[in-house]
Structure formats: C-alpha cells, structure tokens
Structure 1
Amino acid sequence: MKKDDCIFCKIANGEIPSATVYETPECRVILDLAPANQGHALILTKEHYDNIYQLDEETAGKVFSLATHVAKAVQEETGCEGLNIVQNNGEVAGQTVHHFHMHVIPRHAGDDVQVTWKQGETESESLKALADAIKKHI
C-alpha cells in the first residue's frame, strides 16, 4: 500500500526526484537532503508502513540486509571511522516522517553529530523480570 499524502512514498516510488544511491523492488536508498554528515543515506520502503510495528518480517529482513550493503558502500566512499544506523518510531523517539525509514550516518572523529542517551541503571532482579515479561510477547 502507498499513501497519496506521504512524501516518502512519493520519493521511494520515483514520483519526486532524489539523489538515489540504490534501488531494490522493496526499497530506494537516497542521500538525505539535510545530512548529519556527508554520505548520510536513507533507506525508504516503497510500500507504506508508519513504523517498525507495521513492518512484516520478510520486508524487515530485506531492509536490514540492505543496510549492511549501504553501510559498507558509505564507509568505502566517505572513509568514515564509524557509522550509526538509526531507525526512529513515534514522535517521542524522534520520528518526524511517519513512513518507515532507516538512517545510515557516517561518523568521523570530532564531528558534532549526537546519537546518544543517558545510561540508566537497573537491579538484576528487575532486569530478569522485565526480560521474562518481554519473552511472553515474542
């Protein structure tokens, strides 16, 4: 399914021009118009999924496999020393376009790109209880 009012659906399906890096039947890989660093790419699904919760496992496998190929190509071209793969779900997590997509962000020593969080602490008993509770849903 595609959404008529979704800009990423239009880009992914070639209705809006983009700096396309690669394309598969399921995805289009483009360079981000507002990159964190040069070489910042986006992997867009051609079908519309609002977020990872709607993504089927087969498509997810293809997207994540594609991310490894894109990461290697970005590293080869940019000479980056590291790389972040970021995928946000929901506004509270930083998702601004409600179409599943993945960021491939090359990183260099001293860049000012921020992909961080404050590390929390937990007790081993509560960690085990949470792990057991999550297992019930898998």
Structure 2
Amino acid sequence: MSVDACVFCRILAGELPSTTVAEEDRAVAFMDVNPATPGHLLVVPRTHAPDLFTVDPADLAACATLAQKMARRVRERLGADGVNLIQSSGAAAWQTVFHLHVHVIPRYDGDPLILPWQPAPGNAAEIAAVATKLTGD
C-alpha cells in the first residue's frame, strides 16, 4: 500500500477527519472510530511504517511512551478499571490498517469486550524448546 493510500497517513495530513487527543513530536493519539469500549483510542507514529518489523525504533519508543500516557489518562479521567494495549503486526495478527498503531482500550468491570485468547496451560517441553530457539542473539 502506498503512503498516499494509508488512512492513518491521510488522518495525520489532515485529509481525513479525526479526534486527536494528544500529540508529541513523533507520535499522535486519536479516538478510534470503531471503539471496542468507551475511550478506545489509537497511538500512531507520525512517520509511516507498516508494522512492528519496519518501524524506526525511536518512533516505536515514542508510541509506547504515548500509549502509557494515554493509558494513565483513561484510568484517571474515565475511571477505567484496566487497560489493554494491543499492537497487531500482519494480517494473521488481525492487523487491518497497515500503518503501525497501538490500540489503547480502556477496560471496565463487566464490559462486554471478550478477546479471543483464553489462557490455558501449555506443554512445558514445547515451551522450553521454543525458548531455546529464542534465547540469545
């Protein structure tokens, strides 16, 4: 997808409407137009990067810092009981807009949002084998 066709780039350029709630040098937070819960917002880098694998580390750090700031804000100002931060990279991970973004989703006791992953005990040998592959540089 070209940067010109990227919906988040177009939002950042002022070509599409959005409700911005915070701006930093390298990152911007705006309300999600398809909110999972009241206060659901997105944090995006100002510079286009399709995903976690291609984003500049400084832009990623700026997004993480702004996501933390916004998580605190939704807890303090909206009375959220918790917060989910979700970053999806790749279609298999539910990414639908290919401009890196972090969902900041306020959670409220009893809210109807159900995420698809339900934790269950794993196989210890499989976990250890995968950990071996991931250890070290």
Does TM, normalized by the shorter one, top 0.5? yes
The answer on 1:83 being equivalent to 2:90 is no
The answer on 1:66 being equivalent to 2:88 is no
The answer on 1:14 being equivalent to 2:11 is no
* Matching residue of 2:54: 54
Report the 3-state secondary structure (helix = DSSP H, G, I; strand = E; otherwise coil) of the residue aligned with 1:22: strand
Q: Quick one: which amino acid aligns to residue 35 of structure 2? A: P
- Asked if structure 2 preserves the Cα contact closer than 8 Å seen for 1:38 and 1:106, the reply is yes
TM-score, length-normalised on structure 2? Answer: 0.89
Q: Which runs of 5+ in 1 are unaligned?
A: none
Report the 3-state secondary structure (helix = DSSP H, G, I; strand = E; otherwise coil) of the residue aligned with 1:4: helix
* Matching residue of 1:93: 93
Shift of 1:92: 1.4
* Matching residue of 2:43: 43
In structure 2, C-alpha distance between the alignment counterparts of 1:116 and 1:123, rounded to whole Å: 20
* Matching residue of 1:133: 133
* Matching residue of 2:119: 119
Report the 3-state secondary structure (helix = DSSP H, G, I; strand = E; otherwise coil) of the residue aligned with 1:52: coil
* Matching residue of 1:28: 28
Superposition RMSD in Å = 1.7
Q: How many residues align?
A: 136
TM-score, length-normalised on structure 1? Answer: 0.89
- Asked if structure 2 preserves the Cα contact closer than 8 Å seen for 1:9 and 1:48, the reply is yes
Shift of 1:117: 0.6
| Bigger mean CA offset, 114-123 vs 40-49 | 114-123
Percent identical pairs in the alignment equals: 34
In structure 2, C-alpha distance between the alignment counterparts of 1:28 and 1:101, rounded to whole Å: 10
Shift of 1:39: 0.8
In structure 1, C-alpha distance between the alignment counterparts of 2:133 and 2:86, rounded to whole Å: 26
